[in-house]
Structure 1
Amino acid sequence: MIENQNSNLESSYTIQEILFLLKKHIKIILAIFFATILLILIYTFSSDYIYKSSSTIIVNKDPNSLSILNMGYSGERNFIDNEIGILRSRTTSEKVIKRLLDSDNIDLHLFGKKNNNKSFFNSTDNNNDFQALSKEDFVNKYANKLKKSVYISNNKRTDAINISIESKDPEEAAMLVNTLIDVYRERDLEWATGEMSHLKTFLLNQLSKKQKELNEIENLLKSFQEKEKIFTIDDNSKIILDNLTLFETEYNNVLASIDIINEKEKFITGQLNSDEKLLAKKVSNTINQRLQAFKVEMAVIESELISTQTKYGNNHSAVLELENKLENVKSKIEDETRNLINEGITVADPILYRQTLMDSVISIKAVKANLLSKAKAYQNLVDDYDNKLSMLPEKILEYTRLERDRAIHAETYRFMSQKLEEARIGEASKLSKIRIVDKAIANKIPIKPNKSQNIIFSIILGIVLGIGASMVMEFFDNTIKSIEQIERRGLAILSMIPAISSKNNRNKNSKRYVKNDGQVEQLQRRLITHEDPKSPISEAYRSLRTSLMYTKSNSESNVILVSSPGPGEGKTTTIANLAITYANLGKKTLLIDSDLRKPVIHNVFKADKSPGLTSFLSGNSDLKSILNKTDIDNLEIITSGVIPPNPSELLDSNKMIDFIKKVKNQFDVILFDSPPLVAVTDAFVLMKYIDQFILVVRPGKTERGALERVIASTQQSNMNITGVVMNAMSEEHSYGSGYYYNYYQYYYGDKT
């Protein structure tokens, strides 16, 4: 519970603390900031210049596409997306690469064959792919590379497409864009004329066959007339023959239209892959099922219309009414088919013109179904009149059969000739639907590297990385860093001891305080209250003494224990200087080294380690023999003595109780220097003998976990921490400590 509360406290920072943390790590922030700027500047000035060339085209949709029979089902959606897909397709890029190779235009950055002399460091592209790769592999590799350098966008609500390509050479970029557009236009014309060419070839073959069949039937009719001398028939037979010829001609024209649309379907289906074919078939089947009722209704109306036309002519009101009904049903079928196509095909990434192709295949199937229904109606009429014709005399019947076949073949030949001419005209007049608005030209201003943008980016990135690094360091730093972290845990701050440095000690003697020639001199420099009593540090220890005196209510001897959560946090320095301040006040002071594991007090005051405390506790010495005088009036010390194997047991013995009673009778202030609290239990054993307990915490050294563990242990032992001494404080460790130095510097600055 306590740990959770503490962690919540640590996760919140005030604005002042955040600003202090930034100030604390200012050197790291600046180093990262300038390093980031330097690296990005090096990158900027060493990178090759990149140029971009653009072109704008408008794509007009061809309303006659796929509509020789005026189907009207070719789908509106995804038109621009399909065209963009064609431009981005691998096939288009491959054709561009092949065109470049065929024109021997290979001295290009695209192929890695051109020198670059515009960057900060001159570089040369070297490429052995021309020798190492086959032509097919080479085309595939550089087609993919070209695709990655092509940028295509569409202006909203327009048919305009912007095409851009980046290259190290502005002339090359413009040339690649224009070549890409040329290839795209050729592909568009190839597709547009491909259907017409296919139908023209089919119709030429069919006309050749029909010509032969027509010649044969004309010869047969001529031979029959010459043999039987029959050149005409009676009026009733002529009416039957004319009607039969008319309906059979219409029937054959419908069949011819079905043949043409089958060829169209075959051509378009050949452009699809197997998966697209299955999808188109599936959607077509669904459409056929959904439109079955309309198709039955249309077949009935078609049959009734043809019969009515036969009886009353084309201008009769009944005929006109049936024609309106038929048009309404066709309109419903057309609308419903278009809706079903839009619902049935959903392509996440429209590629090339393939979606339009699938729409066309589905639409063709719907038109073919209508034609088949119409053919069935004509077939019924032909069968009816054929039965009537069979009742005529045999010779007349044979004559009428030959005349009918001749007329039907002649009309079919005329119908196909008409369609052939339409196909030829369509092929010859076909124009590309692509118009170039702006042709690509060389842009001499490089788009990369953007120096001003990179500099701004480097500044922002440097700031972000610098601050981020400082925050990461703070996040992983689990030490106590400020007095606020102590106060949040409900502990009182007795005093803040400034860090000892040459800045705090400006007289000649202060130079020896910063020596580091061994442990003894390191400790001797810490007796600053004796060496430099007017320094801010000495005043801080006097402030500690005053705080302790006000927290002690009675006038009896005061027993004080000084310890720290871990080693190296300054407890010995603190207790030694505190002892001097009490002695300077005229108090009979006794400093006891109760750290029976790693004692150092004897080194600080240049005394013998033995006899000492362990000598008394083991019964080998009396109190008088272990007391050591010092150079400081009113201050005596007791060293640790010989290090025992069982320190905790000695400190918890009856001899220790006797020792405490005796020293209390002789001294006003008794101070115990004990081992770190987290390391061993010796300090907790001594707590039952003391009046005040001082916990020394060193910012940047004391870990939060160790402090929390000490607080929890003292609470479990029902012992109170009198207060905390923040040792070796500096502006590095608390945003609020600056005022401390400012005040003391005012009173204890340099004096002449």
Structure 2
Amino acid sequence: MNTYKLDYEKGGVNISRRHNFGEKEYTNEYIIKTDRRAELNENSVERLKQLKYRIVPHSETFLVNKIRRSMSIDNIDYTSILLVRLEDEIAVRAKMFLDTLSQVYINYSKRSDSLINAKTLFHIGNQIDTLKVRLDTIETELEIYRKDSTILNLDKESDKFFEEWVRYDSERRKYQLQLQSINNLEKYMKNTKDHNLIPPSFYVLERDDFLEQSLQELYTKQIQKNRSEFDIKFQHAGMQQLDSTISTMKKDILLYIEDTRVAITQKIKEVTKQTSQYADLMKRVPRRQRDMLSIERENQVNEKLYLFLLEKQANTEIARAGITPQMKVIERSRSIGKVGPDKERIYYIFILAGLVLAGVITFVKYIYFDNIERIQDLKDLTSLPVLGGIPNYKEIEDQQLVIHSKPKSQIAEAFRNLRTNLTYLNPDKEAKVVLVSSVHPGEGKTFLSSNLASILAKSDKRVLLIDLDLHKPKIQTTLNLSNDHGVSSYLIGKMGIEELTTSLPEMDLDVILSGPIPPNPSELILNEKLMKLIAYGREHYDMVIVDTPPIGLISDAMVFLNQVDVGVFVMHTSMAKRQGVEFLEEIVRKSGVPGYGLVLNNIKTKRWRTYGGGYGMRYGYGYGYGYGYGYGYGQGYIDDED
């Protein structure tokens, strides 16, 4: 049984066709290939006959849109690897499509390089054909001239004049060829539309690395733009920036071509002058001999240029064989199993699972939830001093400096309480330098630093706020200042300490911002100038508040933790756990900081009432913060920029 019959109805007409197993069959209505499986036998045939199939034809546009909706492309973090996924009812079809797509994409990138190589060969071939005709003409003239004239050998002086004349004239021809190529390149760039920009060959000349690199970068940007036009609208900021970059690169190349033209023209004038001098010297040679030398000289010049072009043509042909795609398939597509069960069933299952899960989560959270949400919970977990708590505050997006926006609010009172408790941390030594940090990003250390500095400034003290978070500074945003200069400028020697300070008279506060973000912030913190900056703050101010990166992710704060008087560590209720407290205890033990204390941030209203006697204000603080390296003990976070 190697055949099967297919009966179907189309337009009210019953049609029956017989096909062979394992062969691709073509009809006006469909293309089909059916493979016979081992379980197909006489017993199963009767059961299979009862099955009814409904085939719906779709247009090409519908199928393309369907594939686009089902396909996703992700860039694996910190790599140049693309992960392409496609969901389809038929796993074999999805695999075939992805394999074909990757092969077509690879061939497209290779075809672009091949097209540049082909244009180079075409340009060289045209010049070789022109030189062949010229060499044939010169050889014919030379043969005729030898028959009609008797030529004596030139003396040594004539040979010297001739050699110099040939050398300078050869240089002149080469410079003229360069000038012509430069002009052609300029004309091509001005008259060719961006999306067709494939630069003509100029490799036949003396290599100009700058021009070659610039054209290659311009071509790369144009290819990137052409590819992006399929997925990004023209008004997109990325597309406009790409257009601006291409325009700027074209202007720079055209300006460089103009300067090169001037230089080559000057060289042609100088070489022409030398050629004329030696031509005048050769006028002493008899006319026939001079004519003979002129023909031989022209023949030699063209032969050298011809050999030069042949060499370039061979090198370009060899380079063609070495053209490889710019990307490759790391892993071929494979099926990961069924991902799309019945939707209605999913709805009911998820509704039921959601209800059950909600009940389980509620129970587990009530019995086992280990987040620290109360001051008393924090005190019970650690022997470290607890300075106080900051209530939840929902208006943080509008105004972070609550000390000035709502000076009589409960959250402002919480900061006053924090100011009071801070004075008792280190009774043996005046607390002048206070370091503020946290275990995780987004726990509110910058918010606490800014408001703590503000509340201290209101107590008739000279206060200096320093932003030492050189990775992702935030104080300039909180205070609405420009971060053009700051600590990073001082550490690299561009500015002095006195130039760093920004005074805020309305707040009685001086601020030193982080400055431009350096490429090596953690190494820059090790600069000895940092200690001088801290010493300057001690000498000229009553209090110095230092905002640092999260100590649980980046070790910057550890560098000078023993140089400060007090270390204040902020813990956010959504992230505060036992592991974080244990980590801070270890930090305090190793660092030897004289004074230290914990602050619990984002205490919810119902929790706050049990601690503060009915505080009703709400405060919610958190912002996107991300670092690519550092210390972590299992608490994850998401970098979500504002």
Q: Normalized against structure 1, the TM-score is what?
A: 0.33
Higher helix proportion: 1
Q: Normalized against structure 2, the TM-score is what?
A: 0.38
Higher relative contact order (CA 8 A, sep 6+): 1
**Whose radius of gyration is greater, 1 or 2?**
1
